[in-house]
Amino acid sequence: MASHRRPKQPSRTRVTVLTATAAAAVALSSQAAQADPQPSKKDVKSEVDKLYEQAEQATEKYNGVKAQQDKLQKEVDGLQGQVARGQGELNELRKGIGAVASGQYRSGSLDPSVQLFLSGDPDTFLERAATLDQLSGKQAEQLRTIADKQRRLAQQRAEAAGKIQDLADTRKALGEKKDEIKGKLAKAQELLNTLTAKERAAMEAEENSRASRGNERTDLGNDVPASQRGAAALAAAQAKIGSPYVWGATGPSSFDCSGLTSWAYAQAGQSLPRTSQEQANAGSRISSQSGLKPGDLVLFYGDLHHIGLYAGNGTVLHAPKPGANVRYESINNMPFMFGVRV
């Protein structure tokens, strides 16, 4: 007769392992359920737009530092030129005194005043000159001129040294701003790379829908420019529709926002400061959109980091942002601050 044996019970160790495995599986399933989903096209676009705006803010700061660097470089070059010319004049003056000393030495009567000068301390000489009976009026004037020239050269050298240090600090700040801009743009590109080709195409189509890319597709109305200068600046900018936005660029083939406006007005014979914030003070302010005329500058955002040219009928012509070209766009697509008539 077959025996009926009870089934073998699982060991305590095996039960523990099975329980732990089941718990881990449940935990992983829960984590997967709670994990953030892949960012949507809308989320990516929002973040990319934010990064582009931050990059443009940094670009205008970069432009300001770059303009300061250029100014300092000119000042340093000018001071160094003055020092070089002054040193040459000083050398000629010393030659004159040296000729006097040589003549006196050959005659056996080296003037004490000249001896003292040749010791390398003309300032001390001038303090004691009144006590030297042998000093002639001409020699006194020569030595006084040399001493004055030495003092001026010392001042110019000190000023140049200070400007050179300022220039070094400015270059460092410029490099930091450049790295910040590149970092923002690289992060934006990483986000764009997470989208599918179809999603990127849809985003580009949405971006293009914000703007008209040619004169024939944009109704600028019948507004008349307030001046020939404004009209000429707007015409110059219109000739650049389709040119790419490149941070730090001032034309003629690529632009950032303030680069376009400054280039356009330069074609009209008017020099503008480099940054949007400085250009905001380049003329008379116009507080309302209704007061704008074609060719007026238009400032956007609270910190005034973006600028364009009013084109008429509620339309602005500008270099929008990285990845976009110079184009017309509704003035209402950005937070309007005020206009400026140059």
pLDDT in tens, 74-91: 988 988 898 888 888 878
**pLDDT on residue 339:** 98
pLDDT digits (tens, 9 = 90+) for 298-319: 999 999 999 999 999 999 999 9
**pLDDT on residue 342:** 96
Q: Does residue 234 contact residue 317 with C-beta atoms inside 8 Å?
A: yes
- Cis peptide preceding 252, ω within 30 of 0: yes
- Examine the pLDDT at 288 and tell me if it is beyond 90: yes
CA neighbor of 300 nearest in space, from 18, 60, 95, 131: 60
pTM, whole model, 2 decimals?
0.68
Q: Which residues pair with 220 in a beta bridge?
A: none
Residue 313, phi-psi category: left (phi > 0), alpha (psi -120 to 50), beta (remainder): left
C-alpha 250/C-alpha 67 separation (Å) is 12
Question: Which residues does 273 contact at the CB level (< 8 Å), separation at least 6?
Answer: 67, 262, 279, 281, 282
For the residues 103-127, what does the mean pLDDT come to? 51
Q: How many CB atoms lie within 10 A of CB 315?
A: 22
- Examine the pLDDT at 118 and tell me if it is beyond 60: no
Q: Where are the beta strands (DSSP E) in 148-272?
A: 211-212
The residues assigned a catalytic role are: 257, 306, 318
Q: How confident is the model at residue 10 (pLDDT cuts 50, 70, 90)?
A: low
C-alpha 212/C-alpha 177 separation (Å) is 32
Q: Which residue has the higher pLDDT, 120 or 43?
A: 43
**pLDDT on residue 97:** 67
- Examine the pLDDT at 213 and tell me if it is beyond 50: no
C-alpha 291/C-alpha 335 separation (Å) is 17
Q: Does residue 264 contact residue 233 with C-beta atoms inside 8 Å?
A: yes
pLDDT digits (tens, 9 = 90+) for 26-80: 444 444 444 455 667 788 888 988 999 999 999 999 999 999 899 899 988 988 8
Q: How confident is the model at residue 138 (pLDDT cuts 50, 70, 90)?
A: low
What are the Cα distances from residue 181, in Å, to 51, 56, 101, 152, 224? Answer: 9, 8, 64, 43, 38
User: In order of start, what are the domains of the chain with their CATH numbers?
Assistant: 41-193 (no CATH), 215-341 (3.90.1720.10)
- Examine the pLDDT at 142 and tell me if it is beyond 50: yes
C-alpha 202/C-alpha 298 separation (Å) is 30
Q: Which one-letter amino acid corresponds to residue 162? A: G
**pLDDT on residue 100:** 53
For the residues 240-254, what does the mean pLDDT come to? 95
C-alpha 289/C-alpha 301 separation (Å) is 15
Q: Does residue 218 contact residue 332 with C-beta atoms inside 8 Å?
A: no
Q: Does residue 126 contact residue 119 with C-beta atoms inside 8 Å?
A: no
3-class SS at 130?
Answer: helix
Q: Does residue 55 contact residue 184 with C-beta atoms inside 8 Å?
A: yes
Q: ∠223-302-280 over CA atoms, to 5°?
A: 55
Helix 257-267, helix 41-107: angle, nearest 10: 60
**pLDDT on residue 99:** 58
C-alpha 245/C-alpha 135 separation (Å) is 71
Percentage with pLDDT > 70 across the chain: 73
For the residues 192-202, what does the mean pLDDT come to? 87
Backbone angles phi, psi at 45, to 5 degrees: -60, -40
Q: Which residues pair with 244 in a beta bridge?
A: 325
